[in-house]
Amino acid sequence: MPTMADVARSAGVSAATVSHVLNGTRPVLPHTRQAVLDAVEELGYTPNTLARSLVTSRTRSIGLAVSAVSNPYFTEILQGVEAGALEHGYSLLIADPHDDPGHERKVVQLLHERRVDGMIVAPSAAPRELVGYLTRHALPTVFLDRLVDAGAHDTPRFDQVCADSAEPTALLVTHLASLGHRRIGLVAGLPGLSTTSERITGYRHGLTAAGLAHDERLVVHGDSSSDGAERATAALLSRAAPPTALVTANNAMTIGALRVLRERGLSVPGDIALCCFDDFAWADLFSPRLTAIAQPSRELGARAVRVLLDRLAEPDRPARTVRLPCSFVHRTSCGCPERPEEPETGRAPAGPPGRKPRKEPTRDRRRR
């Protein structure tokens, strides 16, 4: 089996130069770097990562704890993390905490015991045990998508990467209001998640900006799941004065809400308009096509890797929270007609010119 010394002799450089090329630890002249890579290819050299980790106390591996199996949104984030890790020469160890605080703590410990250099975690709604473990072991960690409250006196500061939530949700509400809706419901996520509280805040801000009263009865929790959204949407539609428009706060809950609307024989947007947080691959294939907020999922994952690597390079640097902007994807489930493809912007388009305020539907038409 060829060694690093063999690669150095073949390339006409020192073993230290080969190490710098393979590990990215120091800049190397382009022609020298190419000579080393050619020698590696010709000889079939494979670095001994285990031996290297014993010398450097680094495994060049990252632990990722996200509920990717149960949530397709995290699958796209996972792809971004993987691409970012490979780009910088890191391997990825993945565990699914299933959004369960107890299991979350166990899988993070298992990843830590495999000597990962750092961790990227999408925390649950109750991450106290998780935060305690990470703090005790001083494990470099980036919280992804969901933030841990940095204001609590007993909560340490961690690096965090997420998308904007409040302003995009407000945008959905004001867009529906511009189409004449006065009773806009919200199917919110699991209580305790930062994304849930921020999207509820955005919903309220949107109502205020549109000059609409806030009716607490129009906010229900779908617990960030399809089944939960079915129960929540059914409860909303059973109210004496049901909403004429609906905002769903993640992709799984959008599916649950649509299932209930179909079962009740309600058409979108004819009987009830719909806007959703989270665009997804098949949103454009629904009839009607779903108006949505698109999160930069892969970029979130890739940025989390870069933030973690910055932390590994500078352990004492101040913690930071990075927020990435979302895009408004204007389709037809909101009640707007089809229109030519337009560049995405952060601002919702106005309603069709001359559109009159929407009248409240009668009870028998909505088949409650």
| 114 Rama class: left (phi>0) / alpha (psi -120 to 50) / beta | alpha
Q: Strand, coil or helix: what is 294?
A: strand
Extended strands (E) in 260-341: 273-277, 291-294, 321-324, 327-329
Q: Which pLDDT score is estimated for 104?
A: 93
Q: Which pLDDT score is estimated for 47?
A: 66
Structure tokens at 131: 């935060």
CATH number at residue 39: 1.10.260.40
CA-CA distances (angstroms) from residue 137 to 109, 147, 211? 10, 20, 50
Extended strands (E) in 153-305: 159-163, 184-188, 219-221, 245-248, 273-277, 291-294
- Quick check: 143 and 86 in contact, CB under 8 A? no
Q: Which pLDDT score is estimated for 69?
A: 64
Question: Residues 198, 342: one domain?
Answer: yes
Question: Residues 234, 353: one domain?
Answer: yes
| Strand arrangement, sheet containing 91-95 | 91-95, 61-65, 118-121, 141-144, 159-163, 321-324
Question: Residues 180, 69: one domain?
Answer: no
Q: Which pLDDT score is estimated for 343?
A: 43
Backbone angles phi, psi at 126, to 5 degrees: -135, 75
Question: Residues 176, 160: one domain?
Answer: no
- Quick check: 277 and 290 in contact, CB under 8 A? no
Q: What gap in Å lies between CA 102 and CA 80, rounded to an integer?
A: 26
- Quick check: 170 and 206 in contact, CB under 8 A? yes
Q: What gap in Å lies between CA 21 and CA 335, rounded to an integer?
A: 56
> In a structure prediction context, what are the per-residue pLDDT tens digits for the chain, which is 368 residues long?
788 888 889 999 998 898 888 777 778 899 898 998 898 888 887 765 545 544 445 678 999 999 866 677 788 899 999 999 998 889 999 999 988 888 999 999 999 998 899 999 999 989 999 999 999 999 999 999 999 975 444 445 899 999 999 999 999 999 999 999 999 999 999 999 999 999 999 999 999 999 999 999 999 999 999 999 999 999 999 999 999 999 999 999 999 999 999 999 999 999 999 999 999 877 777 778 999 999 999 999 999 999 999 999 999 999 999 999 999 999 999 999 876 544 444 555 555 434 444 444 433 333 33
Structure tokens at 233: 């949407």
Question: Residues 254, 333: one domain?
Answer: yes
Q: What is the number of structural domains in the chain? A: 3
- Quick check: 253 and 311 in contact, CB under 8 A? no
- Quick check: 102 and 72 in contact, CB under 8 A? no
Q: Is residue 222 part of a domain?
A: yes
Q: Is residue 54 part of a domain?
A: no
What residue numbers bound the domain in which 64 lies?
59-164+297-324
Q: Is residue 190 part of a domain?
A: yes
Question: Residues 344, 310: one domain?
Answer: no
Q: Is residue 131 part of a domain?
A: yes
Question: Residues 176, 278: one domain?
Answer: yes
CA-CA distances (angstroms) from residue 301 to 130, 241, 305? 20, 42, 7
Q: Is residue 53 part of a domain?
A: no
Residue type, 348: A
Q: Which pLDDT score is estimated for 367?
A: 35
The reported pTM is 0.78
Q: Is residue 122 part of a domain?
A: yes
Question: Residues 195, 306: one domain?
Answer: no
CATH number at residue 191: 3.40.50.2300
Summarised one tens digit per residue, pLDDT across range 243-279 is 999 999 999 999 999 999 999 999 999 999 999 999 9
Question: Residues 207, 232: one domain?
Answer: yes
Question: Residues 66, 98: one domain?
Answer: yes
Q: Which pLDDT score is estimated for 58?
A: 61
Q: Which pLDDT score is estimated for 212?
A: 97
Q: What contacts 281, CB < 8 A, 6 or more positions away?
A: none
Q: Which pLDDT score is estimated for 201?
A: 97
Residue type, 107: V
Q: Is residue 273 part of a domain?
A: yes
Question: Residues 78, 144: one domain?
Answer: yes
Q: What gap in Å lies between CA 61 and CA 326, rounded to an integer?
A: 30
Question: Residues 108, 257: one domain?
Answer: no
